[in-house]
Structure 1
Amino acid sequence: MNLPLIGRSSAAAADTKEAQAERPAPAPSIADFSTRYRHFYPKVFAYVYGRVQEKEVSLDIVSEVFERAFAKGSSLRSDGAFEAWLFTIARNAVASHWRKEKPAAKAMHSVAWEWELTQHHRDPEQTLLEREQMAILLYHVHQLSQREQEILSLKFDAELSNQHIARVMGTSEVNVRVTLYRALHKLRDRMKSVPQ
């Protein structure tokens, strides 16, 4: 007994799938993007500022990052994929910034210690010692490879998980963990010689 087919035939269903695939991606919702912007802005800014260490330049780069993300249709990605994609854009923007800068500008920047302004009743001698230790630490961080610096910045400035760092860097999570361990071990060894 032949029963009539209910619904579409398999050829019609295949045509519908092809038509859906050919449709242009919908524009990102302003509300969705705004929510993601508020959520990810502090992390992206912390990462960029950690790499550039100039507030105004960092603000410009972060603006460029979010402009690119909005223009490329960010609403099509899950939050985890969006975060990795966003930090890839940020990483490329920072690299582009440094390519444009003169090599001398890459040297140690004087870091404005904004957090010190919020500290009340601090002992000037203690503040000076902390500044010196921070300058020595930054010197040693700058002695690490560019890759190690990137991974440390993504971990501690942007506060990304190892999984997200792996996505941004295009490597495995194990590789990120090993690189972090080795970089931190190098820094600990180098800082042991610094008087406390």
Structure 2
Amino acid sequence: RISDWDSEKILSSAKSINDDFLFEPVASKRGVIVAVPHAGNWDHAGAVFCAQGLKVISVAEHLKPDRLFRRFLKHRESIGLRILDLDAGVMGELRSFLNQGELVALVADRDLSKSGIDVNFFGARARMPAGPAILALETGADLVTVFVSYAEDGIVIDCAPPIKVDKGADRKAEIARVTQVMANRFEDAIKADPTSWHMQQRIFIDSDFVERE
């Protein structure tokens, strides 16, 4: 388990590509939103950046039973991650961390709720969270997509350049545009390494789709 590894093992089993896109906005106190799909081992990726001195904040849906959720939190906190409970107040907490120049990491390739944004994904309609685009618009933090893939000796963490966000544009349209750019980047990365993507829940919206609250 990663929680039993020392920093040397965590770092030696990971290769980071273009991670300046994460370190620079944190060093500049601008903050950075890291959007990732369900790919590779993102706990390992988070541990890599924690081992290099970054504070990594993320969110998690409160699982039942509570005992399972507490074990989940304990594991992630043991590798240095700060996990917030996904509730009505979490966006305010995330904004606060970003305004302090921190790194916020969000799994962002699935959101079937009413607040999700419809995107074109692999030629079909899917729905992804608006949160990354909203946070980028409201805080001015960089929005970076990252794809974590499996390698023979660990993982590869591939960081893409920040997505350009236009604060002067129509808010609703810009959130939709930025979310589509995010989806396009996920699609390109998955096409290059499909076996690292492990989405095991519904993502596409078709004729029998029932919207969640």
Q: TM-score range by the shorter chain?
A: under 0.3
**Higher RCO (CA < 8 A, seq sep 6+):** 2
Larger radius of gyration: 1
TM-score (norm 1): 0.26
Higher strand fraction: Structure 1 or Structure 2?
A: 2
More helix by share: 1
